[in-house]
């Protein structure tokens, strides 16, 4: 295990990707505070972290509750000595088409994913800002879990898509606003086989590495948590199948100039004839898939 005195909070760490991230960070020498709703699942995570020589504390609770966030920060700062890394991973699914979605299904997904990410981000960045203002030099890292769904949409997941797109926006805003305080914030869009994604991916070929195994994702998380990732902030990564893609901001597809008289409805309609012109189509999904077809 690498020598380090760094400490991370990881939400959604009772199983799946969050647990795998906790173990990977522990192997890299990071002590972890793990969070989930289930105390039993968290204790299993703690045991697996300790089995690789790591240190772990468990704090069960609803990550969208302010009090849970406060307890997590206190566990890192007071129980393990400090806080250097925040991995926001907690999430749920309540899939349904937008025309059939209930208020509860919308609110619960937005609450866990987006509010939960905000609560921990808000508390951690305040902590690091205070340290910087007191003369400290934080080398703080935030790694948020977004999704390709937040980049390109998914018909039956309007709540999840909105939450993940919001997390990407929050990540970039945090990166811009907190860079001066030593905070680096990035988002990952993983494809990982976990209890939450059960049944979404085909079974792996026998004798071959699982392209959607959590081990395809966690090394990137561990590197983003390191001090030597200091130059990287405000970025969105897609990661799976042994590939990492760095996403660029959306490009401008076309611009239209108003006629001398200015815009009116007919002028807009004339400009929008552009949509009827034949052109190659290349969506965000196409771009991601093309990136993952690169060999080398």
Q: Is 275 a catalytic residue?
A: no
Q: Which of 47, 102, 108, 160 is catalytic?
A: 160
Q: Which of 108, 133, 164, 270 is catalytic?
A: 164
Q: Which of 102, 108, 133, 147 is catalytic?
A: 147
Report yes or no: 236 and 186 within 8 Å, Cβ to Cβ: yes
Q: Is 47 a catalytic residue?
A: no
Residues in contact with 233: Cβ distance below 8 Å, sequence separation at least 6, in sequence order: 175, 179, 183, 184, 185, 186
3-state helix, strand, coil in the chain (%, to 5): 45, 15, 40
Rg (CA), the chain: 21
Mode of pairing for the β-strands spanning 31-36 and 56-60: parallel
Report yes or no: 187 and 237 within 8 Å, Cβ to Cβ: yes
User: CA 194 from chain center: how many Å?
Assistant: 15
Report yes or no: 217 and 17 within 8 Å, Cβ to Cβ: yes
Q: Is 147 a catalytic residue?
A: yes
Which residues carry out catalysis? Answer: 147, 160, 164
């Amino acid at each position: 295990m690498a020598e380090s005195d760094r400490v991370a909070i990881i939400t959604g760490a009772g199983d799946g990707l969050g647990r795998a991230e906790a173990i990977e960070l522990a192997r890299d020498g990071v002590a972890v505070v793990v969070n989930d709703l289930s105390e039993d699942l968290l204790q299993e995570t703690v045991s697996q972290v300790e089995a690789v020589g790591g240190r772990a504390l468990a704090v069960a609770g609803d990550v969208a509750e302010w009090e849970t966030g406060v307890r997590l920060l206190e566990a890192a700062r007071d129980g393990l000595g400090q806080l250097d890394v925040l991995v926001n991973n907690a999430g749920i699914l309540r899939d349904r088409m937008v025309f059939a979605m209930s208020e509860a299904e919308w609110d619960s997904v937005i609450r866990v994913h987006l509010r939960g990410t905000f609560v921990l981000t808000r508390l951690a960045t305040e902590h690091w800002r205070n340290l910087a203002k007191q003369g400290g030099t934080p080398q703080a890292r935030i790694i948020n879990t977004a999704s390709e769904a937040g980049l390109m949409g998914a018909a039956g997941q309007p709540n999840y898509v909105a939450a993940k797109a919001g997390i990407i926006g929050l990540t970039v805003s945090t990166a811009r606003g907190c860079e001066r305080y030593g905070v680096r914030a990035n988002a990952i869009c993983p494809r990982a086989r976990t209890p939450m994604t059960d049944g979404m991916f085909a079974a792996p070929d026998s004798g071959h590495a699982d392209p959607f195994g959590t081990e395809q994702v966690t090394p990137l998380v561990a590197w983003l948590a390191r001090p030597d990732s200091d130059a990287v902030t405000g970025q969105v990564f897609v990661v799976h199948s042994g590939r990492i893609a760095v996403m660029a901001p959306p490009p401008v597809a076309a611009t239209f100039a108003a006629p001398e008289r200015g815009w009116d409805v007919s002028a807009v309609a004339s400009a929008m004839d552009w949509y009827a012109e034949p052109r190659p189509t290349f969506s965000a999904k196409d771009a991601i898939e093309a990136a993952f077809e690169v060999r080398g």
